[in-house]
Amino acid sequence: MEPNPVTAQAPRLLDQVRHRVRAKHYSLRTAESSYVDWIKRFILFYGKRHPRDMGAVEVEAFLTSLAVVRKVSASTQNQALGAILFLY
């Protein structure tokens, strides 16, 4: 009887983001502190739904929530938008 082959798991989404940011030679601060953090917040905002199941409506609602509920500055909203655009 042959042993079962070990199946390799695909890299997790945030690990894929980190890898892609590094491949594009972005600064580690941009990758680790900013993009990954905003993407994580976006996913958690929707109860851990996968981004492939979300679209423009969810992105707009998330950014609106940042502005209206959390009262963040325009530059913070732009940073969040940049991270989400990078994801997609």
Domain ranges of the chain: 13-87
- Tens of each residue's pLDDT in the chain, 88 residues: 555 555 668 789 999 999 999 899 888 877 778 999 999 999 999 999 999 999 999 999 999 999 999 999 999 999 999 999 999 9
* 3-class DSSP string for the chain: CCCCCCCCCCCCHHHHHHHHHHHCCCCHHHHHHHHHHHHHHHHHHCCCCCHHHCCHHHHHHHHHHHHHCCCCCHHHHHHHHHHHHHHC
| pLDDT at res. 6 | 58
| pLDDT at res. 4 | 55
| pLDDT at res. 5 | 56
pTM score: 0.82
| pLDDT at res. 32 | 72
* Architecture in CATH of 13-87: Orthogonal Bundle (1.10)
